[in-house]
C-alpha cells in the first residue's frame, strides 16, 4: 500500500494577504502607542504648569504682586522666590525640541514659559502667564487653541491672558535648541517667530 503525502502549502497571494494584515495591525498599534505616550507627557506638562501657577499664586499671597521674570526667582532657594513654594521647579522632558502643531501651521517648542506684566488697571505686576506646548494633536486643538490666550499653539494659565497691557508673548514656533543647552534664562527675540520686544522667562528646571 502506498501513502501519498500532501505537500500543498500557502499560495503567494495568501502569504501577501497575511503580511499585509500584519503590517496594517503593526502600523495601527504603533500609532496608538505613540498617541498614548504623547498624551501621558502632555498630562505631565499640565501637572507641571499647575505646580508653577500654584507657586506664583502663593508668592502673590505673601508679597501682593506677581514675581519678576528673573532667573533667580525660579532657581534660587531663597524665601522670596517661586522656588521656595515649588519643591522642584519642573523641566519639560523634551525641552529643546519641537512639540505638536495640531491644525496650526507650525509646531511649538517644548518648554515652559513665564510672563508677568501690568494688569488692565495699570497695577504693576498684576497679571501673569505660564505656558507650555503639547505634543498630541488633539490636545493642541482642544486645549491650547481654546484657552483664551494669545498663543494658539500653547496652553496658557494665568490672569488676563489677552490683556492689551500684557507683555509681548513669544511665538515659540522656532528657536528650539539642543536639550543639553537649554537653561533657565530670559527669552530673546531670536527665540521667537515674527515677534519683537518679547518679555518672558524660559523655565528649564531649578531647585
Three cell numbers written together for 135: 505634543
- Check: CB of residue 99 under 8 Å from CB of residue 147: no
Give tens-digit pLDDT for 7-31: 566 677 877 887 887 777 767 666 6
Indicate the Cα dihedral angle 74, 95, 35, 48, nearest 10°.
Answer: -10
In a domain, 163, yes or no: yes
Indicate the Cα dihedral angle 40, 43, 44, 46, nearest 10°.
Answer: 160
In a domain, 1, yes or no: no
In a domain, 179, yes or no: yes
- pLDDT of 205 reads 79
- pLDDT of 89 reads 93
In a domain, 51, yes or no: yes
Three cell numbers written together for 10: 500557502
Helices (H), 64-158: 71-75, 137-142
Domain carrying residue 177: 12-203
In a domain, 67, yes or no: yes
In a domain, 5, yes or no: no
In a domain, 146, yes or no: yes
- Check: CB of residue 113 under 8 Å from CB of residue 200: yes
Give the number of domains in the chain: 1
Q: pTM of this prediction?
A: 0.81
Amino acid at each position: 500500500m502506498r501513502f501519498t503525502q500532501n505537500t500543498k502549502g500557502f499560495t503567494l497571494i495568501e502569504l501577501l494577504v497575511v503580511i499585509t494584515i500584519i503590517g496594517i495591525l503593526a502600523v495601527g498599534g504603533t500609532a496608538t502607542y505613540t498617541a498614548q505616550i504623547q498624551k501621558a507627557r502632555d498630562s505631565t506638562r499640565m501637572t507641571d504648569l499647575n505646580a508653577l501657577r500654584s507657586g506664583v499664586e502663593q508668592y502673590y499671597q505673601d508679597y501682593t504682586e506677581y514675581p519678576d521674570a528673573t532667573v533667580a526667582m525660579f532657581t534660587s532657594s531663597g524665601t522670596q522666590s517661586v522656588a521656595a513654594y515649588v519643591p522642584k521647579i519642573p523641566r519639560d522632558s523634551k525641552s529643546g525640541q519641537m512639540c505638536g502643531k495640531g491644525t496650526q501651521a507650525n509646531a511649538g517648542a517644548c518648554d515652559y514659559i513665564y510672563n508677568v506684566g501690568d494688569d488692565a488697571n495699570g497695577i504693576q505686576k498684576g497679571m501673569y502667564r505660564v505656558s507650555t506646548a503639547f505634543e498630541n494633536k488633539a490636545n493642541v486643538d482642544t486645549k491650547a487653541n481654546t484657552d483664551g490666550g494669545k498663543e494658539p499653539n500653547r496652553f496658557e494659565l494665568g490672569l488676563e491672558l489677552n490683556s492689551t497691557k500684557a507683555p509681548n508673548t513669544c511665538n515659540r514656533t522656532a528657536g528650539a535648541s539642543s536639550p543639553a543647552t537649554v537653561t533657565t534664562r530670559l527669552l530673546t527675540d531670536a527665540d521667537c517667530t515674527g515677534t519683537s520686544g518679547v518679555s518672558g522667562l524660559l523655565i528649564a528646571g531649578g531647585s
